[in-house]
Amino acid sequence: MDRMTTSSQPSAQPTVLIIDDEVGPRDALKVVLGPFCTIHCAENARIALELLRTKSIDLITLDQKLPDRPGLELLQEIKLEYPHIEVVIITGYGSLKSAMEGIRHGAAGYLLKPFNTHELTTLIQQTIEKKRRLDFLRRYLRNSPELWGSPEQGTQAWKILQTEYFSLSPNNEPVTAIPSQDDMTLLPLLSDILEATDRQLLNHSSRVSFYATLMAARLNLSLTDQKALALGAFLHDIGKTNLPHYRFSGDQVLPSREPVLCREHPGNGARMIAPLGLPAEVGQIIAAHHERWDGQGYPRGLHGTETPLLARIVGMAQLFDHLTADTPGRSPLSVEQAIQQITNPSLMQFDPQLLELFIDVVKESTASIPTLSAAPAA
């Protein structure tokens, strides 16, 4: 295993690109961030993109109103071309709506001018710390096929990963053993693994877990099953962390269009989490969430109730979110359009009774949470 331990990593100053057309805010940011960052500046989007092509940048502070193009448009281009660069929006032209748009398109944080120096330094330092963790995980996932190997290989790989990951944060105590089923100390690590692969994958996983939790309450599942469903839904796509150059925006909603390699992710995911001692239902969800009611799913071609109940729930939730997710590079459907597609009688993808209940749950949730109610205007 080509292991790169945290102790061997250089502690070089992070490099920050300040994108702002106003001299005053640029100079203020340089004064605040200069003591612990290497600084580059750009007064417009054109210069910023030139610097990104020639410099190694860790973090960007981005004004939302630039002279040559909107900041949100530039953010989307940056996250598509340089997904591992973190972006913090700092602007005097913001609002809650624009903040949410920035976060939705991959920004790590948001501050309004005039900014508070303490809030700014705290946000920047936290973002840099997170980037170091995510960059470490990207290297580890790339260099550690043992995570998807035999149970013995996986157990050892997880132990090494935990020790190195938790040593990156002074606030976390090192974990010296694989946790028990009731121990959720690994949840931050599992979340960061998804985010290191693609932040939009983490967002998708969180939304799927949200929908699954609503279904659990409606079905009056036991507390044990509710916990397993929430965690299994959150981890359902963890097998995609094994796919080279994975991007959530490139996911194919229709299974017939999925690459063969992508169809391996349920099995890879179940094998990956097996050494963690999580409830068996979590592994079942991961392994079976792409099975179909008509037996045309994968990887095993299970029919009807051969697919575990919790996996059937997650299968519906993940497809609904794929259809409605407002993410870069995709055109979301409205809730009504998505419902029409998943209820197409010619498909027979889902348990009919569960599907009827799921539609009721979705309609109720979108009525009470306006941001889920419709796709945004183009």
The domain locations on the chain are 6-134, 158-372
Overall pTM > 0.85: yes
**In the prediction, which pLDDT does 257 show?**
54
- Chosen CATH of 6-134 out of 3.30.420.60, 3.40.50.1370, 3.40.50.2300, 3.60.20.30: 3.40.50.2300
**Residue length, the chain?**
378
What is the residue-level pLDDT of the chain in tens, covering all 378 positions?
444 433 334 458 999 999 999 999 899 999 999 999 999 999 999 999 999 999 999 999 999 889 999 999 999 999 989 989 999 998 776 666 777 788 888 899 988 888 889 999 999 999 999 999 999 999 999 999 999 999 999 999 999 999 999 888 656 555 555 555 455 788 999 999 999 999 999 999 999 999 999 999 999 999 999 999 999 999 999 999 998 888 887 776 655 555 566 789 999 999 999 999 999 999 999 999 999 999 999 999 999 999 999 999 999 999 999 999 887 777 889 999 999 999 987 777 899 999 999 999 998 887 665 555 444 333
CATH superfamily, with its number, for domain 158-372: Hypothetical protein af1432 (1.10.3210.10)
142-146, long-range: CB < 8 A, 24+ apart: 143/1, 143/2, 143/3, 143/4, 144/1, 144/3, 146/1
Closest among 287, 316, 284 to 214, alpha carbons compared: 316
Strands 59-62 and 38-42: unpaired
Q: Which residues pair with 109 in a beta bridge?
A: 88
Q: Label residue 369 left, alpha or beta by phi (over 0 means left) and psi (-120 to 50 means alpha).
A: beta
In this chain, the answer to whether the domains covering 6-134 and 158-372 adopt an identical fold is: no
- Residue that is written with structure tokens 């149970």 in the block: 151
